[in-house]
Amino acid sequence: MPALTFLAAAALTVPATPAAAASGDPPEWTQPRPPLHLIGPITYVGTRGLGAYLIRTSAGAILVDATMAENVPAIERNIRSLGLRLSDVKLILVSHAHFDHVGGLERMRRDTGARVLAGSGDVAALRSGTPPGETSYGVHRFPAVARVTPVADGERVTLGDVTLRAVATPGHTPGCTSWAFRVDDHGRAREVVFAGSITVAGNRLVGNRRYPAIVRDYRASFDRIERLRADVVLPMHPEAADVFGRARSGTLVAPRLLGEMARAARVDFERTLREETR
C-alpha cells in the first residue's frame, strides 16, 4: 500500500476490558503515572491501566491511543513533562473504537491539532461516537471524532524518520489495528508491535447483527498475530504484557511473547464461543 507521509510543517492474563464498565471501571484505568521510557524513541505516557505511547521523531511526535476522556489532562501533563508542546504531537494512531481507548480522542485531537488515523473498519464508529458490534455490557458511547483518516491493512504511516505499518487485527472491533515498526536499540534493530486487543471482552460472538463476521475475523487475526514478528510487545492494556515489570527488569525484548498471547486468547475465544452456542 502507498505510504502516508506527514512533514513537520503539517499542522497472558486477560486485561481489564470495557465489560468492566457495567460494574464500574477498574481504578487503574484512571490512575496517573509518570512517563516511562521504554525503548528507542518510545515513552509510555498513559495511566496505570490504559496504554498511551509517545514516539518521538525528527518531525514531531506520534501518540498511540488517547484512552479515556478523564485521562487527557494527565496524558497531556506527561507529554509536556518530556519537554514537548502539545502542538508537537502531529499524529494520533488508534488501536480500536472502544470508549476506554478513544473516549479522550476528540479532545486530544483538538488540543494537539494532530491528525487522527484509524483502521478503516472503525472509522464510522469513531465519527459517530457509537462503538461497533454488539456486546454483553451494552453500548458505551464516546465523543464523536470530527476528523479521522482511514488506514488500510499494510499501509505505512511516516512522520520524519519513523515509519509504522498498520496491521489489521479485527475481531475485537472491525477496524482493530496493531501498529508495527522497527527501532534502534543500542545498535540492534528491534521489531516493536503496539498490539491491538484480541480478547473477547464481552463481544457477542453468536448472532452479532452489527458485526456478523466477528468469528471469522477473530480466527484470522489469531493466525496472523501468531506469525507476526515482535521483539517487543506493547499492548493497550499494559498488564497484558507486564510492560512496567519488563521495563524495570530489562526484559522488554521477548520475541515469543506475542505468539503466546495470541494462543492464550484463541483458547479463551473458542471456549466462549462454545458457551454461547450451547
Q: What is the pLDDT of residues 104-163, one digit of tens each?
A: 999 999 999 999 999 999 999 999 999 999 998 888 999 999 999 999 999 999 999 999
**Residue 247, CA distances (Å) to 152, 206, 220, 238 in order:** 31, 39, 31, 11
- Mean pLDDT computed over 166-195: 97
Q: What crossing angle do the helices spanning 105-112 and 72-81 adopt, rounded to 10°?
A: 40
Residue 102, pLDDT above cutoff 90: yes
> Rounded to an integer, what distance in angstroms lies between the CA atom of residue 271 and that of residue 273?
5
Confidence (pLDDT) at 107: 98
**Average pLDDT of the chain to the nearest whole number:** 92
pLDDT at 137: 86
Judged against a pLDDT cut of 80, whether residue 16 lies above it is answered with no
Res 15: pLDDT: 40
What CA–CA distance (Å, rounded) separates 196 from 68? 16
pTM above 0.85, yes or no: yes
DSSP designation for 268: H
Name the pLDDT band for 278 (thresholds 50, 70, 90): confident
> What pLDDT sits at residue 229?
96
Q: Return d(Cα 218, Cα 224) in angstroms, integer.
A: 10
Contact 105, 93 (CB under 8 A): no
Q: Mean of the pLDDT values across residues 38-59? A: 98
Mean pLDDT of 161-176: 98
Say whether 6 sits in a helix, a strand or coil.
strand
How buried is residue 144: exposed, middle or buried, by Cβ count under 10 Å (0-12/13-18/19+)? middle
**pLDDT value of position 8:** 35
Q: The C-alpha cell of 108 is what?
A: 486530544
E-assigned strand segments in the chain: 3-6, 36-39, 42-44, 53-57, 60-64, 89-93, 115-119, 149-151, 156-159, 162-168, 177-185, 188-195, 232-235
Contact by Cβ (8 Å): 179, 154: no
Confidence of residue 14 (pLDDT cuts 50, 70, 90): very low
Closest CA to 194 of 18, 31, 42, 25: 42
Of the chain, the percentage scoring pLDDT greater than 70 comes to 92
Provide the pLDDT confidence category of residue 13 given band limits of 50, 70 and 90. very low
Cβ-based neighbours of 80, under 8 Å, separated by 6 or more: 86
Residue 43 grid coordinates: 515513552
